[in-house]
Amino acid sequence: MIFEKLNSDSTLKDFLDEAQKEKKELEESYQESKRQAIERRLKEKKNKHGGAQEESKMIEKIQDQWCRNNGYPVIKRKRIKYSIQ
């Protein structure tokens, strides 16, 4: 009976150790995939040559304030994001 208890305790400990290792591996894998996704997005932005460019937020703020000050309606902007599939 004592042997069975020791055996089950060691089995439980081995199981918990293995679960901790897997959790750590999954976390590392998740962090790596996040890093790769960020790199991919940055690379996509760098490789754009020409095309429609978005106005900067500062210019938009200045335009909106000018419209408010001079009685014109504020321009509603609609952003279209294209994804490569």
Q: Is residue 75 part of a domain?
A: no
Is residue 39 situated within a structural domain? yes
Q: Is residue 24 part of a domain?
A: yes
Helix (H) or strand (E) holding 4: helix 2-46
The pTM for the full model equals: 0.41
Whether 31 has a pLDDT exceeding 80, the answer reads yes
| 73 found inside a domain | no
What total of structural domains would you count in the chain? 1
> 50 is written with which tokens?
């020409």
pLDDT in tens, 32-85: 988 888 888 777 666 555 544 555 777 888 888 999 999 988 878 776 666 665
The span from the CA of 6 to the CA of 9, in Å, is 5
Residue 80 belongs to a domain: no
Structural domain containing residue 2: 1-48
Q: Is residue 64 part of a domain?
A: no
- The 8-class DSSP code of residue 72 comes to P
What span, in angstroms and rounded, lies between the C-alpha atoms of 25 and 46? 31
| Domain-embedded: residue 77 | no
